[in-house]
Amino acid sequence: ARKIILDTDPGIDDAMAIVFAEAHSGVELKAITTVYGNATIENATHNALYLKQYFGLSADIVQGTDKPLQRNPVGPTVVVHGEKGFGDMPVPDVLEATVDGRPAYQYIIDSLKQEPKEITLVAVGPLTNLALALQAEPAIVDWVKEVVIMGGAFGVNGHRGNVTPYAEANIHDDPHAADIVFGASWPVTVIGLDVTEESFYTRPYLDKLRDDAGDVGQFIWDVSRYYLAFYSEYVGMQACHVHDPSAIAYVIEPELFTTRKGPIRVVTEGPAIGHTIQKFDNRSHHYDEWEIASPQNVAVTVNSERLLEIYRQAL
Ligand code: BDR
Ligand code: CA
Q: Taking CB atoms and a 6 Å cutoff, what residues make up the pocket around ligand 1?
A: 11, 13-14, 38, 77, 80, 124-125, 150, 162, 168-170, 243-244
Say if pTM beats, i.e. exceeds, 0.95.
yes
Catalytic residue among 81, 176, 241, 243: 243
**Which ligand 1 atom is at minimum distance from the Cα of 14?**
6
Residues 6+ positions from 83 with CB-CB distance below 8 Å: none
| Strands, E assignment, 24-152 | 27-34, 60-62, 119-123, 146-150
Between the CA of 187 and the centroid of ligand 1 the distance, in Å, is 22
Give 11-50 pLDDT, tens digit per residue.
999 999 999 999 999 999 999 999 999 999 999 999 999 9
Checking phi first, is residue 214 left (phi over 0); if not, alpha (psi -120 to 50) or beta? left
For residue 227, which ligand has an atom nearest its CA?
Answer: 1
243 is catalytic: yes
16-53 core/surface letters (b: 16 or more CB in 10 A; e: else): bbbbbbbbbeebbbbbbbbbbbbbbbebbbbbbbbbbe
Determine the distance separating the centroid of ligand 2 and the alpha carbon of 9, expressed in angstroms.
5
Mean pLDDT of the chain: 97
| Burial degree of 210 (CB within 10 A; 0-12, 13-18, 19+) | middle
Question: Using the 8-state DSSP alphabet, how is residue 232 labeled?
Answer: I
Model confidence over 235-262: pLDDT tens digits? Answer: 999 999 999 999 999 999 999 999 999 9
Question: Which residue owns the Cα nearest ligand 1 atom 2?
Answer: 169
CA separation for the pair 78, 224 (Å, rounded):
14
Rounded CA-CA distance 29/57 in Å is 9
* pLDDT value, residue 285: 63
Question: How confident is the model over 264-302, as pLDDT tens digits?
Answer: 999 999 999 999 999 988 776 667 777 777 999 999 999
